[in-house]
């Protein structure tokens, strides 16, 4: 081989080796597979979901959210106890509903502890778990911000209706924080039975109804029943009221000294003509009850009749059958001024003309123009810092004062009053207090129509 050829061969070999080394040292950037990226993101989101759930629930969150509980406070709290104990049985946390004007539900103005004590959940932590509406809302917001809003479905547990639409569908104020609801509402209709032995199977039916949606995180519940069905004995105990409210009731009770309480519910009482005679019987009972020093006990009245009115308004209502809404304020969310008859006004006028009466009322706003009440009608103002213009809070204060009274009277049901869970709660609390050593004259004494003259 000539020297030139040999040189060319060496140059070609060296060039080839250099190119080979360069190719081995340089590697193009290779994007990771798409599935790897997706799995990494999903893993991160799952970790964040677990972290948020652990923060609020100690594990995967499953809630029962009472969107609306029918009936007023005394019965609504009984229904809430049923929901709470059932939540424990199906391994869900019950969201403590908001409250307003004797109603319980998710979208009302005041938090749960405006009416009730937080001790209730702590006392029953072995039977069910609770979460405040504030913490539940915070959970919703954190999950929403993560892009994993809480899955949800609406459930309806209702009395079997004979007519009308069985679905209750008020606006859910929390919908914007929840995942879009793609599942239809579910409905459980059951007949009501007064006799407990006929309700023994209802707990099983509700249990099965609630466990059909184990994978759904939030079960929004519309609840409309009348009687309890959970078999646990603690589910029948009343929910304790907020310490702020009980302390205020204690102050009023101390300022009244020895006093008697009368619960007189007159709504839809028929015939209304009986009311005046009921008042006469009540006055007879009250005036015969004299204290040891010869002075009649003070009377505290719990009633659905207006607590705030002017003397002129009563005159117009009795003589002219005209109810002036500017001079009289309804005390009940269900018993409106237009439902009052002259018989209602005559009966109350007879009572306060013979016995000095004390009632509670919410602190007036500055623009009230109601004239002076009758001389024997005294209103104890519940300050706004306590009552916040809430009629339900006023009813709770009344109830607590009746529980603390030396003696308690109520109208005979269907004659001079109505049977109610409100009265029952007072009577049971008084019985319990007497068993614990409280010195009370009675648990309850009923007044009816005068005995016929023989």
Position 239 pLDDT exceeds 80: yes
Supply the Cα-derived Rg of the chain in whole angstroms.
Answer: 34
413-416: long-range contacts at Cβ-Cβ below 8 A with a sequence spacing of 24 or more?
Answer: 415/274, 415/278, 415/448, 415/449, 416/264, 416/269, 416/274, 416/275, 416/278, 416/281, 416/282, 416/446, 416/447, 416/448, 416/449
Q: Report pLDDT for 290.
A: 64
Catalogue all structural domains in the chain, each as residue range(s) with its CATH number: 47-236 (3.40.50), 243-447 (3.40.50)
Nearest to 413 by CA among 367, 454, 448, 364: 448
The residue with greater pLDDT, 227 or 239, is 239
The residue with greater pLDDT, 289 or 422, is 422
Q: Report pLDDT for 383.
A: 93
Q: Report pLDDT for 13.
A: 57
Q: What is the pLDDT of residues 385-404, one digit of tens each?
A: 999 999 999 999 999 999 99
Residue where the block lists tokens 């759930």: 53
Note whether 179 and 152 are within 8 A (CB).
yes
Q: Report pLDDT for 448.
A: 96
Position 366 pLDDT exceeds 80: no
The residue with greater pLDDT, 226 or 406, is 406
Q: Can the peptide bond before residue 189 be classed as cis, meaning omega within 30 degrees of 0?
A: no
Q: Report pLDDT for 26.
A: 46
Confidence of residue 409 (pLDDT cuts 50, 70, 90): very high
- CA–CA separation, 353 and 350 (whole Å): 5
The residue with greater pLDDT, 168 or 414, is 414
**What tokens does 333 get?**
């969310």
Average pLDDT on 70-79 reads 95
Percent of the chain with pLDDT over 70: 86
Q: What is the pLDDT of residues 1-37, one digit of tens each?
A: 555 556 555 555 555 555 555 554 545 444 555 455 5
Q: Report pLDDT for 197.
A: 77
The residue with greater pLDDT, 331 or 290, is 331
Average pLDDT on 259-272 reads 92
Position 323 pLDDT exceeds 50: yes
Confidence of residue 198 (pLDDT cuts 50, 70, 90): confident
């Amino acid at each position: 081989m000539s020297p030139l050829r040999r040189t060319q061969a060496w140059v070609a070999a060296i060039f080839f080796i250099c190119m080979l080394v360069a190719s081995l040292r340089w590697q193009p950037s290779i994007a990771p597979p798409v599935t790897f990226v997706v799995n990494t993101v999903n893993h991160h989101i799952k970790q964040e979901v677990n972290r948020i759930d652990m923060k609020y629930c100690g594990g995967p969150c499953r809630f029962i959210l009472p969107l609306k509980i029918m009936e007023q406070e005394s019965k609504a709290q009984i229904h809430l106890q049923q929901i709470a104990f059932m939540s424990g049985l199906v391994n869900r946390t019950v969201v403590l509903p908001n409250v307003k004007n004797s109603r319980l539900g998710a979208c009302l103005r005041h938090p749960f502890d405006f009416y009730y004590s937080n001790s209730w959940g702590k006392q029953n932590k072995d039977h069910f778990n609770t979460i405040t509406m504030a913490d539940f809302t915070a959970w919703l917001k954190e999950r929403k911000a993560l892009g994993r809003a809480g899955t949800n479905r609406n459930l309806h547990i209702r009395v079997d209706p004979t007519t009308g639409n069985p679905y209750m569908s008020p606006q859910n104020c929390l919908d914007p924080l929840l995942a879009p609801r793609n599942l239809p509402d579910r409905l459980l209709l059951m007949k009501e039975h007064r006799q407990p032995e006929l309700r023994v199977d209802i707990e099983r039916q509700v249990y099965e109804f609630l466990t059909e949606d184990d994978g759904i995180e939030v079960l929004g519940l519309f609840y409309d029943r009348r009687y309890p069905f959970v078999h646990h004995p603690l589910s029948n105990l009343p929910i304790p009221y907020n310490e702020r409210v009980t302390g205020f009731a204690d102050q009023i009770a101390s300022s009244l000294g020895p006093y008697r309480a009368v619960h007189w519910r007159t709504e839809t009482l028929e015939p209304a003509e009986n009311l005046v005679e009921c008042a006469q019987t009540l006055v007879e009972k009250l005036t015969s009850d004299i204290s040891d020093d010869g002075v009649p006990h003070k009377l505290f009245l719990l009633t659905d009749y207006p607590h705030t009115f002017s003397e002129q308004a009563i005159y117009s209502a009795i003589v002219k059958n005209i109810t002036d809404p500017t001079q009289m304020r309804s005390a009940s969310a269900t018993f409106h001024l237009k439902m009052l008859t002259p018989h209602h006004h005559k009966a109350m006028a007879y009572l306060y003309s013979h016995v000095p009466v004390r009632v509670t009322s919410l602190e007036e706003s500055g623009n009230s123009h109601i004239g002076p009440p009758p001389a024997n009608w005294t209103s104890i103002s519940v300050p706004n810092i306590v009552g916040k213009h809430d009629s339900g809070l006023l009813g709770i204060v009344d109830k607590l004062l009746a529980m603390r009274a030396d003696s308690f009277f109520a109208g005979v049901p269907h004659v001079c009053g109505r049977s109610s869970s409100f009265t029952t709660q007072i009577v049971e609390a008084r019985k319990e207090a007497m068993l614990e050593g409280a010195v009370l004259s009675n648990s309850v004494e009923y007044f009816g129509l005068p005995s016929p003259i023989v």
